[in-house]
Amino acid sequence: MFRCQAGDSPRQRFTELDDLSTTDRVQLAQRIGEADAHPTIGDLIRQVEHQMVCEQPEAGPRPVKRPRTNEYPTASSDSASLIADEAQGRGVDSSAIQADTDNPSAEEGEPVAGACIQGVVNIFPEYLSDAIRRDGVGDKRRAAVTISFPGKPFGVVACIMTLAVRPNKVDRLAHLLFGAHLETEGQNREVVLESGCRILVLPKVVIQGCRTATISKVFGPVIAEAIAAAPYRKQEVLDGVSATRCVTMTIYSDERGAEISLSLGLKEGSRIDEMLQ
């Protein structure tokens, strides 16, 4: 039976309760309920509670989340729609890969925008890192990167990363990713493919279809791994598709330049999101 000694500390008395059997605990509770509480009991309980609170480790500072703003690229939802529509047209059953996109901890809805510049430098190769637009001044300067988790409405799209490309880098990246060139005729901008086909950019043009080796070279191993884990890319591999639609480039006719959207795996996208904070 539980007994209190005069020299026991309050915390020691409560700790010894763990050694009692269930029957002894019930009997002790009944005895306590029948007894008249001494006036000092309330002070004793508060003292023990205070000791336990003081022993709890202090929580570290919460990471500062990137701002949610419309100043950054927002083409991610368009890219998700394109992939989802194409998947539906090919008869891809999104429910078969829905498990890859179900994650209650992932934020859905409004994209998280703006990335730590050092995080961008750590993830991307030098040329691609330099090609991403910078916004803001001083300690508020950020890289124009948007990450969103579309959720169930786009079952084959778990995570979308969108990069705003500087105007003077658009031509080079279009050629590296898709073998396309940009030309300007008067006020018109054209995309010229290797076959000689010309596509007018009015007011924008969307290009998809990038090979795996190109992805690794341009975006680096971290992004290449994340794209390989994308639910839609896994389906493409099963279908024998070599040039993936998980890389989308939207080229504009005005000074906005271009945006590159990447479909990523959910876990990989979440990890990259943390690296960019």
- pLDDT tens across 34-57, in order? 666 666 666 666 665 566 555 554
Q: Is residue 98 part of a domain?
A: yes
- Residues 103, 205: one domain? yes
Q: Is residue 66 part of a domain?
A: no
- Residues 139, 245: one domain? yes
- Residues 108, 205: one domain? yes
- Residues 126, 37: one domain? no
- Which residues constitute the domain of residue 20? 10-55
Q: Which of 14-28, 73-87, 115-129 has the highest mean pLDDT?
A: 115-129
Q: Where are the alpha helices (DSSP H) in the chain?
A: 10-15, 22-34, 41-55, 76-89, 117-123, 126-131, 170-178, 212-219, 221-228, 231-238, 266-275
Q: With 80 as the cut, is the pLDDT of residue 171 above it?
A: yes
Chain segment 224-239, per-residue pLDDT in tens: 999 999 999 999 999 9
Q: Which of 48-52, 123-127, 148-152, 252-256 has the highest mean pLDDT?
A: 123-127
Q: Is residue 67 part of a domain?
A: no
Q: What is the separation of C-alpha 127 from the centre of its chain, rounded to a whole number of angstroms?
A: 23
Q: Is residue 5 part of a domain?
A: no
Q: Is the CB of residue 232 less than 8 Å from the CB of residue 246?
A: yes
pLDDT score recorded for residue 63 = 45
- Residues 122, 229: one domain? yes
Eight-state DSSP code of residue 1 = -
Of the two residues 52 and 272, the one the predictor is more confident about is 272
- Residues 23, 96: one domain? no
What is the mean pLDDT of the segment spanning 189-204? 88
Provide the domain count of the chain. Answer: 2
- Residues 114, 22: one domain? no
- Residues 100, 179: one domain? yes
The pLDDT-based confidence of 73 (bands split at 50, 70, 90) is low
- Residues 40, 157: one domain? no
Q: Is residue 262 part of a domain?
A: yes
- Residues 24, 104: one domain? no
